Amino acid sequence: MKLILLGAPGAGKGTQAEIISEKYDIPTISTGNIIRAALKNGTEMGLKAKAYIDSGRLVPDDVVIGIIKERLSDTDCQNGFILDGFPRTIPQAEALDNMGVNVDAALSIEVDDREIVKRMSGRRVCEKCGASYHTEFKKPANDGVCDACGGKLVIRKDDEPDTVHDRLDIYHKQTEPLKSYYKTQDKLIIVEGQDKVSDTTELVLKALSEI
């Protein structure tokens, strides 16, 4: 299965991606995670992206398109993949089409802005491995400590409230138009994000089983 996950920042794409990835045995490709890893490793791409990512703006299309092109050529993508956070603009979606990548569906997880702002304030990430948690919805076994690697859990710079508002704005202006883009291709699936992660998962898995 080749799947695109759409949705506002904080709608729970990453969490659902992890579950789908395990169930269908396909990798999740998160442009956000790839960029943050590059940033941590101090690569040239990471340095270029830093100012954008910290301020919540989108990294330029050519940079993320390059990342995706390279990643999709890896052998583990042959049986399918989940794109989490790509495409985020119409030119990115067009680039994917032009690469000859024919996705099965674009699944949009919908959560309203007020709820997003509330959720983002509780989001925490592991500074070592990047795993993400939530103070209310996805607690680690030990407060402030990553289950996976024991790293310290911190607030991502772009999850600060002011930046979240800007990111939502960008989402509505630049990413939401992708819903009509994929609707035209008859690939759009909409799932309402629920309060409980497992309830959203149930809706997501049911929708995917019907593709």
> Is 167 assigned a catalytic role?
yes
Helix axes of 113-121 and 161-170: crossing angle, nearest 10 degrees: 140
CB 210 to ligand ADP: min, Å: 25
Q: Is 64 in the site for ligand ADP (CB under 6 A)?
A: yes
Which residue from 15, 16, 21, 31 is in contact with ligand ADP, where contact means CB under 6 A?
31
Radius of gyration of the chain from Cα atoms?
Answer: 16
| Structure letter (DSSP) for residue 76 | G
The Cα-based distances of 122 to 52, 111, 137 in angstroms read 22, 16, 9
CB 9 to Zn ion: min, Å: 20
Q: Token pair 């791409």 is at which residue?
A: 45
> Is 114 assigned a catalytic role?
no
**Site residues for ligand ADP, window 150-209 (CB under 6 A)?**
158, 167
Query: Which residues are paired to 152 by β-bridges?
Result: 145
> Is 71 assigned a catalytic role?
no
One-letter identity of residue 2? K
CB 13 to ligand ADP: min, Å: 6
The Cα-based distances of 132 to 67, 75, 85, 177 in angstroms read 22, 26, 15, 27
Q: Is 95 in the site for ligand ADP (CB under 6 A)?
A: no
Interacting residues toward ligand ADP by CB under 6 A: 9-10, 13-14, 31-32, 35, 52-53, 56-59, 64, 85-88, 92, 158, 167
Catalytic residues, by residue number, are 13, 88, 123, 156, 167
